[in-house]
Amino acid sequence: MSDEVVNHLALARAYLMAGRLDEAESHARQVATVAEQQARPLAVASLLLARASIARGNTEAARRQLDDAATGLQAVLQDRWAARIWCEIAEAHDEIGSATAARVAYRQAGTASGLAVPTMPDPVGSTAPR
């Protein structure tokens, strides 16, 4: 990741935290022009754009941007970094009331961190001995 990309992401996050949404969105969008199709920074930029949309109360735009972030994140090596971003995506989905999408993102975070989420059999109607 180039210094320019890192700087745009850092500035976008800082402006977002300061409530300066226009500046945050501007820097997040700049990532798309300088990241040269690198999945990691593009996923984070989409996440930051979603956070700005949430702050503006635009949940439909936030959902689209979170979907973009998740799609981009699926293309990268699943490691601790990816797990952290999956958690942020899950938290954002939770904030806008997308419980199913939040649950999926939390499971992706578990998988990315090396914690496999086992699938439990349905005990109702199970033929397993008791």
Query: pLDDT of 29-85, one tens digit each?
Result: 999 889 988 999 999 999 999 999 999 999 999 999 999 999 999 988 889 999 999
pLDDT score, position 121: 53
pLDDT score, position 102: 96
Q: Residue 49 and residue 56: Cα distance in Å, rounded?
A: 11
Q: Tell me: the pLDDT tens digits for 107-123?
A: 999 999 988 655 555 55
To the nearest 10°, report the CA torsion of 71, 16, 53, 103: 50
pLDDT score, position 37: 83
The residue with greater pLDDT, 119 or 86, is 86
Mean pLDDT of 1-18: 95
DSSP at 128? S
Report residue 11 as tokens.
């500035």
pLDDT score, position 115: 81
Is 1's pLDDT higher than 90? no
Confidence of residue 130 (pLDDT cuts 50, 70, 90): very low
Which stretches of 58-127 are assigned E, i.e. beta strand? none
- Domain spans, the chain: 3-112
The three-class DSSP label of residue 8 is helix
CATH class of this structure's domain 3-112: mainly alpha
pTM as predicted: 0.84
Burial class (CB in 10 A: 0-12, 13-18, 19+), 26: middle
